[in-house]
């Protein structure tokens, strides 16, 4: 008779679970119980489409930064760098409805076209284009070594799995890169993003037998695009490892406290969260 397998040892934690934990631990709890948030929440279709467009643009920023010049069969180089950049952006936008077909299947076609047109108008404006850096280390790394998109890694030792947006492999190092479409900090990298990079670093180290020293965060939004390098520090590794343990407990059945800055107003789990709170209050007479 084979020994009974420990349930907790079979739990595979996603790096996205760690980022959800930092937003609110109860997101992890409800998702672990099979409750899924809608891909695109009602009333937030426009911002969700913009997020997808920005995300895909992030995968092609090295082309945008470089103002890639290419011919279209006629053998003539594009006349200006700005025209080349605009063509890259338009090509990226045109590809979105095919790449994100599942995510966009419930979106009204007319709304999608309206958002696309507004997006192009904003991104192709001289103001947005003028904020792009002409020299950027990440763009140079991508042009020199390319990158693997959404590389998935699994660590049995950690009990964790994750798919990093970009994975760059040079002769000397393996570098993770994540794309963020939200607000960019004035300096450095947000704490949650440093933690996420540290989690990917641990997965990379287990898979490739190397030590990850640094990563990049691409902050891209409707105002600008900014690339931030982040050195993987011990405190970020410690935070990722600590949250990994907490998430394992939550997925094992522990009901966590709500996050201090939980976005309750926009959370699709709010009714279940309040119901659970009411039941516990009655149970313990609180």
Q: Tell me: do 50 and 94 sit in the same domain.
A: yes
| Residue 81 confidence (pLDDT) | 72
Q: Tell me: do 151 and 64 sit in the same domain.
A: no
Q: Tell me: do 104 and 31 sit in the same domain.
A: no
Distances (CA, A) of 215 to 16, 160, 169, 271: 17, 19, 12, 38
Q: Tell me: do 152 and 86 sit in the same domain.
A: no
Q: Tell me: do 53 and 119 sit in the same domain.
A: yes
Q: Is the pLDDT of residue 44 over 80?
A: no
63-67, 258-262, 266-270, 275-279: range with lowest mean pLDDT:
275-279
Q: How confident is the model at residue 282 (pLDDT cuts 50, 70, 90)?
A: very low
Distance separating alpha carbons of residues 185 and 22, to the nearest angstrom: 17
Last residue of a domain, one of 82, 105, 130: 130
Residue 137 backbone class (left: φ over 0; alpha: ψ -120 to 50; beta: rest) = alpha
Q: Is the pLDDT of residue 277 over 80?
A: no
- pTM for the predicted model, two decimal places: 0.86
For residue 235, give the CATH number of its domain: 3.90.320.10
111 inside domain? yes
Q: Tell me: do 18 and 154 sit in the same domain.
A: yes
Q: Tell me: do 161 and 27 sit in the same domain.
A: yes
- C-beta separation of 195 from 143 below 8 A: no
**Residue-wise pLDDT tens digits, 134-173:** 557 888 899 899 999 999 999 999 999 999 999 999 999 9
Burial 195-228 (b: 16+ CB within 10 A, else e): bbbbbbbbbbbbeeeeebeebbbbbbbeeebbbb
Q: Tell me: do 28 and 71 sit in the same domain.
A: no
264 inside domain? no
Last residue of a domain, one of 102, 130, 158: 130
For residue 87, what are its two tokens? 């063509």
| Residue 135 confidence (pLDDT) | 59
70-74, 90-94, 255-259: range with lowest mean pLDDT:
70-74
Give the 3-state secondary structure of residue 110.
helix
- C-beta separation of 155 from 77 below 8 A: no
**Residue-wise pLDDT tens digits, 215-264:** 999 999 998 889 999 999 999 999 999 999 999 999 999 999 988 888 88
Neighbours of 177 (CB within 10 A): 24
Count: domains in the chain: 2
Q: Which domain holds residue 161?
A: 10-37+146-251
Percent of the chain residues past pLDDT 90, beyond the cut:
57
């Amino acid at each position: 008779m084979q020994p009974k397998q420990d349930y907790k040892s079979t739990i595979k934690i996603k790096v996205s679970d760690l980022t959800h934990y930092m937003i609110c631990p109860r997101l992890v709890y409800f998702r672990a119980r099979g409750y899924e948030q809608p891909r695109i929440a009602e009333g937030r279709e426009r911002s969700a489409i913009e997020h997808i467009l920005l995300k895909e643009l992030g995968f092609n920023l090295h082309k945008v930064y470089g103002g890639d010049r290419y011919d279209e069969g006629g053998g003539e180089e594009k006349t200006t760098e700005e025209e080349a950049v605009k063509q890259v952006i338009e090509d990226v936008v045109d590809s979105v409805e095919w790449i994100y077909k599942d995510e966009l299947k419930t979106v009204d076609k007319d709304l999608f076209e309206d958002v696309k047109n507004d997006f192009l108008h904003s991104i192709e404006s001289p103001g947005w284009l003028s904020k792009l850096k002409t020299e950027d280390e990440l763009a140079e790394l991508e042009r020199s070594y390319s990158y693997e998109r959404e590389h998935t890694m699994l660590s049995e030792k950690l009990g964790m799995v994750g798919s990093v947006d970009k994975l760059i492999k040079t002769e000397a190092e393996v570098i993770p890169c994540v794309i963020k479409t939200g607000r960019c900090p004035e300096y450095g990298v947000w704490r949650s993003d440093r933690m996420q990079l540290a989690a990917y670093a641990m997965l990379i180290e287990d898979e490739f037998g190397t030590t990850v020293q640094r990563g990049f965060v691409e902050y891209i939004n409707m105002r600008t695009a900014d690339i931030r390098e982040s050195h993987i520090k011990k405190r970020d590794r410690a935070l990722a490892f600590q949250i990994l343990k907490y998430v394992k407990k939550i997925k094992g059945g522990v009901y966590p406290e709500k996050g201090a800055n939980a976005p309750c107003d926009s959370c699709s789990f709010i009714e279940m969260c309040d119901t659970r709170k009411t039941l516990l209050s009655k149970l313990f007479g609180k």
